[in-house]
Amino acid sequence: MVNITISGPPGSGTSTLVGKLERHFAWSSLNGGQVFRDEASRRGLDLLAFGRLCRDDLSVDRALDEELQRRISENDGPDIIESRLAGRWAYQIGVDCVRLWLEVSERERALRVVAREGGTIEQRLSDSAMRMAIDHTRFAELYGLQPSDPEPYSDTISADDMSADEVFIETLTILQKRGFGDV
């Protein structure tokens, strides 16, 4: 069963953290963002266009979320699930795991994306704002919530001024306190 869900806005470092945890513990993972990207690619759409499709056809999002919920509750499922709503689903289902939210400012996320993928800060901020607006509308319409609502998360890391290694160490400390894994 899942040990930890990792959630945060795009560019917050969730995928990087998942990779570090996988290597450290030899844990398996499911990346909700990758499931989203794979479905967009399967349909021949970029992320912005797929986000619009999800906004306009709520059944697409619901199907992806139902799959995520099913995987979270599986006894032989992945050890780590990364998705903006993974913590919310684990909370609602009643799965006893660490539900981590990575909090990172828009500007810092844009800087990270520029470092990873190139482009300008201004363009990345604009892209992020457009994507977040679409996502906020979708989540509000689908579930009446926003992913950053703190209620379902057992832990939050404010990671603006932290390196990926510092976030990893903080996460290991959280996991150790909860008795998950052999830190």
Report the C-alpha gap between 110 and 138 in whole angstroms.
22
In whole angstroms, give the CA distance from residue 151 to residue 157: 14
What's the token pair of residue 100? 């981590």
The label of the residue with tokens 């709520």 reads: 58
DSSP secondary structure code for residue 145 in this structure: -
Please state the domain extents for the chain.
Answer: 4-178
pLDDT tens per residue, the chain (183 residues)?
899 999 998 889 999 999 999 999 999 999 987 888 889 999 999 988 998 898 789 899 889 889 889 999 998 999 999 998 999 999 999 999 999 999 999 999 999 889 888 999 999 999 888 888 877 887 888 888 888 888 999 999 999 999 999 999 999 999 999 987 565
The correct answer on CATH 3.30.70.260 for the domain covering 4-178 is: no
